[in-house]
Amino acid sequence: MNINVRILTKSVSQQYAFKRIVTFSTKPTQQAAVAAVPQQQEVTGPSVRKPIVPAHYRFVYPEFLPDPKIEWRNAIREKLERLDMLDRRRQIELPEFYVGSILAVTSSDPHAAGKTSRFVGICIHRERCGLRARFILRNVIDHQGIEVVYELYDPTIQKVEVLRLEKRLDDSLFYLRDALPEFSTFDENMEAEPLEEGAPVPINDIKVVLRPRPWLERWERQNLLGVANIEQYIKDKHRKSAEKVQKPWEKFDLMKQYRATIPEEEQKEIFAEVHTELHTLELQRKRNKRKRTFVKPKHLA
């Protein structure tokens, strides 16, 4: 028996050593497929690790997102602009603020007495992106409504202070131009009201009172939340025409929204690129603030 086995195994080994095995399957063998899958998972596991960007960054730094208009997109220009913005942020503290926050901006002014001018006001609008990002401050000074447009990355800006960090109910507050002056009057010597660390930005649900028509815009058509007395001044014909221009289908127009936004994947990429830098700047700012509070106690005479 043993002989037979030996001979057989020898012959078998010879056969397989020299003869070709012909198979025509092009599918991967089951073993190979099983072996391939866990290997891939092992490889992707550690490489997936990326800096975790907080979800609120797109609200705090909206100007880092490019204009979503497809014809105007240019990856290289956007990247260079982001680098320039970071460069500027290393030079000057540009704090987090929203429409409705009260800011004080100190800027170089060749005609002012000390070559600088400081303007305090409420931010009524933020627009544009990249290095062109700008905002409008409004205040009433000597019974005269004053608005100043500041570019956020303008090199003549010397200091931006947030005196009161809060949001309002609407995305832009142009209706303050038609409101009673007390709603856009802010003290020039106002002191900063610091928020607690980590506290959410409060939403001021104040409703402003408009003065009678004529107005600068047809506010009744804009579905404003922060206005108290629109109904008081409009007639039936205004109500009807306002109803006519409403576009209730727009909230379902997905492609319109898509063309107005930067998709999440792209946002993640952009903020992953600038996150570490912005984060270190934030930490630095916090440290500086703490120092300043210890060093300079306020004396009010």
Q: Contact residues for another protein (CB under 8 A)?
A: 2-3, 5-6, 9-10, 12-13, 15-17, 20-27, 29, 58-59, 62-63, 65-72, 126-130, 132-133, 247, 249, 252-267
CB of residue 262 to another protein, shortest distance in Å: 5
DSSP assigned state of 19: S
Q: How far is the CB of 22 from another protein (least distance, A)?
A: 7
Q: Pick between residue 139 and residue 167 the one whose CB is nearest to another protein.
A: 167
Closest approach of another protein to the CB of residue 70, in Å: 4
Q: In the complex with another protein, which residue's Cβ is closer, 72 or 206?
A: 72
Min separation Cβ 187 and another protein, Å:
30
CB 84 within 8 A of CB 63: no
Which one, 56 or 90, has the nearer CB to another protein?
Answer: 56
Minimum CB distance to another protein, residue 73 (Å) = 9
Residue with Cβ nearer another protein (23 or 47): 23
Strand, helix or coil for residue 24: coil
Of the candidates 137, 227, 223, the one whose C-alpha atom is nearest the C-alpha of residue 184 is 137
Minimum CB distance to another protein smaller for 42 or for 264: 264
- Cβ atoms of 160 and 121 within 8 Å: the answer is no
Which contacts of 213-217 are long-range, i.e. CB under 8 A and separated by 24 or more positions?
215/178, 216/174, 216/177, 216/178, 217/174, 217/175, 217/178
Q: Are 137 and 125 in contact (CB under 8 A)?
A: no
Q: How far is the CB of 245 from another protein (least distance, A)?
A: 12
The DSSP result for 192-208, as a single string, is PBPPPTTPPPPB----B
Q: Are strands 157-164 and 134-141 parallel, antiparallel or unpaired?
A: unpaired
Helix/strand/coil for 157 = strand
- If the CB atoms of residues 59 and 291 are measured against another protein, the closer one turns out to be 59
Cα 208 to Cα 168, 178, 182, 183, distances in angstroms: 11, 10, 9, 6
Distances (CA, A) of 108 to 73, 115, 150, 151, 218: 33, 6, 12, 13, 37
Length of the chain: 301
The phi-psi region of residue 128 (left if phi > 0; otherwise alpha if psi is between -120 and 50; otherwise beta) is left
Please state the closest distance from residue 233 (CB atom) to another protein, in A.
Answer: 29
User: Is the CB of 1 or the CB of 301 nearer to another protein?
Assistant: 1
In the complex, least distance from residue 300 CB atom to another protein, rounded to whole angstroms: 40
Nearer to another protein, 129 or 163 (CB): 129
- Helices 264-295 + 75-91 axis angle, to 10: 10
